[in-house]
A and B are shown apart, each in its own frame.
Chain A
Amino acid sequence: QKEVEQNSGPLSVPEGAIASLNCTYSDRGSQSFFWYRQYSGKSPELIMFIYSNGDKEDGRFTAQLNKASQYVSLLIRDSQPSDSATYLCAVNDKTSYDKVIFGPGTSLSVIP
């Protein structure tokens, strides 16, 4: 059974610090990896995707992928209170192009 695992948290960081969110996945054939952000009471929204090993940067966000270790992470630099949310890792289901498998999410709290 394909699985995506994340630490549930909560992860607390002070404002201005780097928040590091981690995700592991079980299907070695997975090709596409996504990070969604979900504010309390709201729906998930995509913030990053990554397909290749290495780092991908977008503003204060950096996604890191290591396929050999089956590990993907999200770094948030200069964390702001507005970054407080649950972050969902998602991995494509290689048996079905259009489907992804979501992890349980990590709750992040940025303390002013």
Chain B
Amino acid sequence: DAGITQSPRYKITETGRQVTLMCHQTWSHSYMFWYRQDLGHGLRLIYYSAAADITDKGEVPDGYVVSRSKTENFPLTLESATRSQTSVYFCASSETETQYFGPGTRLLVL
């Protein structure tokens, strides 16, 4: 199906483990984004990408790594998960300023 998908939808992990969240879009949008959403903070930008092989830091990049080898995929890796990274993670894509969001991944770090 066309659109933007995220996997897994739910993830429980332990502190210190590496976790990768996947994001895939079928629109061939140039721009892709990773946000985290926490109570009291709203949506905060972690990383974004303007095209394949072009990525840049957002507001809260520490502890996260991204890559974009193909236009349609934008994985987010937590290199060594911490409890403070427990959150809901949203991927989004856009071709103009209107962003389209994936369904989100709920991550719990124990």
Do A and B interact with each other, yes or no? yes
A residues contacting B by CB (< 8 A) are 32, 34, 42-46, 49, 88, 92, 97-100, 102-105
- Which of A100, A103, A104, A105 meets B99, CB within 8 Å? A100
Inter-chain CA distance A103–B48, complex, in Å, is: 18
> Per DSSP, are chain B's interface residues mostly helix, strand or loop, or mixed?
strand
Q: How many A-B residue pairs have CB under 8 A?
A: 44
Q: Would B43 and A49 count as touching, CB distance under 8 A?
A: no
Residues of B within 8 A of A (CB): 30-31, 33, 35, 40-45, 48, 50, 58, 90, 94, 97-104
With beta carbons under 8 angstroms apart, the residue of A32, A42, A99 that contacts B45 is A99
B54 to chain A, nearest CB (A): 11
Distance between Cα atoms of A52 and B73 in the complex (Å):
34
Partner of B94, one of A42, A98, A102, A105: A98
The answer to whether A100 and B97 have CB atoms under 8 Å apart is yes
Given contact pairs A49-B98, A98-B50, A99-B58, enumerate 5 new A-B contacts (beta carbons under 8 Å).
Answer: A42-B103, A43-B104, A98-B94, A98-B97, A105-B42
